[in-house]
Amino acid sequence: MRGAAIASRLRPGVNERMNLPLDWIRALEGGALIGLSASLMLAFNGRVAGVSGMVGGLLQPSPGDWSWRALFLAGLALGGVVAAAVLPNAFAASPASTGTVLAAGLLVGFGSRVGNGCTSGHGVCGISRLSPRSVAATLTFISTGAITVLLTGGSP
Amino acid sequence: MTPLARRRAEGAVALASGTLFGLGLAVAGMTRPEKVIGFLDFFRNWDPSLAFVMGGAIAVHATSWRALKGRRSPLLATRFLVPTRRDLDARLIVGAAIFGAGWGLGGLCPGPGIASLATAAPSVALFLVAMLAGNLGAARVEPFIGRALKRG
């Protein structure tokens, strides 16, 4: 399986659909990087790597807490730039219409603020601490996400 | 360590950590909206691969949390600032439900949205501007939501 992952990296033309377990390996590798990132934030800075919380903190800055949030978010964008350079299939254009993207952004911004977190803060950091609030929030947003996909047609 | 040196070191950790996070999201496939929608499409054409993102991230981070739990303070900062609330309330569930609807609609959540700035795609910019507006809107109505849900 490892060999397959490396071979496909050398030959980027390999069909991803035919190679489903490769997706799983990539997901595990990416997940491990995310877990490592969250662990660094906790071990050194004593902070939760929650993206929506950092965005909220940037919009309502309190002195001394602004710069680390800005730097983490800048790093997030930088990580995307690195990924775009080394992984040609890392990004894909959104299939959604302009109106849908607008509505999606509004709901994500509003909901993550009201619910005190998103996929990173609740789904990764909170569940890792076995926080009942984060477990409940994660079950809730995966459920309403699935219902939304069911109602809007979902994947082809 | 002087407070300024500590602040700088914490900033460097945040930048490095953010970069790893963004790279991890892209490697994992979280930056492909159609893949996220495929993961949430449980009842038709389910693509389970993104479950492994959470699995991998939680396996690593839960191990770190267990290792760090006994420490009085982090390596740089003076104290841990981690949420300690354990009670469930309507606000949490309503917020998470709204967030999930947006996630399913567009296939993007905040982290991958920011990491996708690299594509310079107009839809990413629109998503992020709308997300900021939604966040600010929530901050505006927060007091009312709290009251309404308490009454309900």
* Residue B139 phi, psi (nearest 5): -60, -35
Residues of B in contact with A17 (CB under 8 A): none
Checking if the pLDDT of B152 tops 60, the result is no
> Which of A36, A68, A92 is closest, CB to CB, to B60?
A36
Rounded to whole angstroms, the Cα distance separating A104 from B104 reads 8
- Cα–Cα distances (Å) from B111 to A50, B3, B13, in that order, read 9, 29, 17
Checking if the pLDDT of A8 tops 50, the result is no
Three-class DSSP category at A126: helix
Checking if the pLDDT of A12 tops 60, the result is no
pLDDT in tens, B80-91: 999 999 999 999
Q: How does residue B93 score in pLDDT terms, banded at 50, 70 and 90? A: very high
Per-residue pLDDT averaged across A114-124, rounded?
97
> A109 at the B interface (CB within 8 A)?
yes
Task: Report how many helices (DSSP H) and strands (DSSP E) chain B contains, helices first.
Answer: 6, 0
Checking if the pLDDT of A20 tops 70, the result is no
pLDDT in tens, A94-114: 888 999 999 999 999 999 999
Rounded to whole angstroms, the Cα distance separating B69 from B2 reads 26
Q: How does residue A155 score in pLDDT terms, banded at 50, 70 and 90? A: low
User: Of B144, B104, B108, B148, which Cα lies nearest the Cα of B128?
Assistant: B108
Indicate the pTM of the whole model.
Answer: 0.91
What is the structure's pLDDT at B144? 83
| Chain A, nearest residue to B16 by Cα | A75
Structure tokens at A112: 């993550």
Chain-centroid distance of CA A10 in Å reads 26
pLDDT in tens, B30-70: 999 999 999 999 999 899 999 999 999 999 999 999 999 99
User: Of A94, A77, A119, A26, which Cα lies nearest the Cα of B27?
Assistant: A26
Rounded to whole angstroms, the Cα distance separating A140 from A143 reads 5
Which amino acid is residue A46, in one-letter code?
A: G
- Cα–Cα distances (Å) from A53 to A33, A93, A109, A146, in that order, read 20, 26, 10, 24
pLDDT in tens, B124-143: 999 999 999 999 999 999 88
> Which of A46, A116, A146 is closest, CB to CB, to B40?
A146
What is the structure's pLDDT at A61? 79
Give me the count of residues in chain A: 156
Checking if the pLDDT of A3 tops 70, the result is no
